[in-house]
A and B are shown apart, each in its own frame.
Chain A
Amino acid sequence: MPVRAYLDLPSKLALVFLLWVCAFTLSWTFQVSLCLLLVIARFAIPAFRPLSPRSATAFSKFIVYSISVALLVVCLNALFIKTGGTIATVLGFSFYEDGLLFGLKTASRLILLSFSVLMFFISTPLPVLIGYLQEKGLPPSLVLVLLLTLHFLDQLPRRIHQIFLAQQARGAPVDAGVISRTKALLSILSPLVLASIVESIERGTALELRGFLSRPAADRIPAQIGKQDNLLGICFYFLSLAILLYSIYRWLIA
């Protein structure tokens, strides 16, 4: 695998920072466009391509899931924030303008925040990220915690699925519908987290037993940062700063 395909880690980090700044400052139309650009980038730009088919599916699933959540957020806000004019009335339910706008703002912000982070993680090899963070002086214990957390999040859906299977195998009607599924999920959540913590501790030991974190940062896989990437990263930071300053200025004169 050519390293170039995912090389620009610092600029990617800078881009995520820029997108987060945009999420908190720009209007919802901008944010929606940025989300669309991100989706296009995922297919068009090698550095943003998912590393494995699994992360590709995760990303696609997340898109579908987040759009449905966004629609729900928008509808609920438009229904319950009853100020501004009425835009439409469906089956006797009225949707209001202010609520709609607020809903759009919130939903697009949430999507942009999560899209950018997700994009970063699916397209960045964990070892490269870890190596970079260590180079930047992140304490080894924090690096390990980060790694174990990511692994935990990665494995959580599989664990839940497995335990559901085990419950069904012992006669629980988990497969009977949404309500029994939700009930089952709530009942296993705390033992699941506990089990995962126990496992994480052991996994941490196992990683160290394979020499992980045992070497000084200088020996690690270099994050392969070129000059042009540095420049790109700096541009992103400048842009973020500019947007921040501009929105502060607008907020002051408003």
Chain B
Amino acid sequence: MAHRLIIENLSLQYSSSEPKALSSLSVDVPAGSCCAIIGPTGAGKSTLLHCLAGTMHRQHPESVASGRLQLGETRFEGLPDHILFPVAALVLQDPYVQISGVRDTVFEEILFTLENLGAAPQNPRKIIMPLLQRLGIDHLANRKPTSLSGGETQRVALAAILVAQPSILLLDEPTSALDSNAQDKLRAILRSLRGTTTVMMSDTQIDFALAIADQILLLDHGTIVFAGSPSALLSRAREYSSIIPVESWLATQSFLTSLQTSSGHQKLISKALGLQ
């Protein structure tokens, strides 16, 4: 069951003497939709995801937060003081630390999550193998989780969270080590979650974010600079070139010109981005 996610006026300091890492963020993510956060390093993308997952009290016990969060029917004044798994589940950026190290195969690594839920099913293969297949890593099922490449580990880490079927899925830079093929698979999975899982992800790969998200947040120095649809962002891309240089977003000059020209080109872009 997807949950609606509401962030109201959220501010955060890592300690009372430090400047605000997040300031007065307000976002409404409808249940079952996908919201992508983009912005430069240090903009607060990861911080926001950690706030929503409920890890802030652990990682930064000194941190001071204000504002409100609402996940489905549950409301929090300030930040939650416990990890919200499996209601909200976060896949971290560094794939290697997410391998528990207590299991010998990828299959068992995924099973570990189910056991933590106290809900290890009768025949876990029936649940886990199709999931691995969807992520294109079923051939790794019997491999040792610590012997995999970065891209493979990243998908194992994702599978280990997805298997818990969270209501709100939080992804921190999910594409950073994925090849284009794996990215396509991830995109297909995120699409298939539409309606059943609310997704919030940070991504530095703008084209991936644009192609999958219903809503884009552009963060800079802890504040929301832009919130809206991907096409609205594209049409205003130039305005934000000081935060994210446009030439690096879209990599080629001709793409830039195509952005400003005919509606035919716009359609082309939307089509290529999978927005249609």
Contact = CB atoms under 8 A, between A and B. Distances in A.
Q: Do chains A and B touch in the complex (CB under 8 A)?
A: yes
B116 A214 contact: yes
Nearest to A198: B97
Contacts of A130: 102
Contacts of B37: none
B97 A209 contact: no
A146 B53 CA distance: 24
Interface of B, helix, strand, loop or mixed by DSSP = loop
B98 A206 contact: yes
A198 to B, nearest CB: 10
Interface string B96-122: 011011111000000011011110100
Contacts of A219: 118
Nearest to A200: B97
B8 interface: no
A167 to B, nearest CB: 20
A151 B164 CA distance: 24
Given A127-B112, A127-B115, A214-B116, A209 B89 contact: yes
A43 to B, nearest CB: 20
Interface magnitude class on chain B: 20 to 34
B100 A215 contact: no
Contact of A202 (B97, B118, B144): B97
B116 A215 contact: yes
A211 B97 contact: no
B11 to A, nearest CB: 22
Interface string A151-164: 10011001000000
Contacts of A147: 102
B100 A207 contact: yes
Contact of A210 (B59, B101, B112): B112
A82 interface: no
A210 B97 contact: no
Nearest to A55: B104
29 contacts: A125-B102, A126-B102, A127-B112, A127-B115, A130-B102, A147-B102, A158-B146, A202-B94, A205-B58, A205-B59, A206-B100, A208-B58, A208-B83, A208-B85, A209-B53, A209-B90, A209-B92, A209-B98, A209-B161, A210-B85, A211-B113, A211-B117, A212-B100, A214-B82, A215-B117, A215-B118, A220-B118, A221-B115, A221-B120
Interface of A: 51-52, 54, 125-127, 130, 147, 151, 154-155, 158, 199, 201-212, 214-215, 219-221
Given A208-B85, A215-B118, 8 more contacts: A147-B102, A155-B146, A208-B58, A209-B98, A210-B100, A211-B164, A214-B82, A219-B118
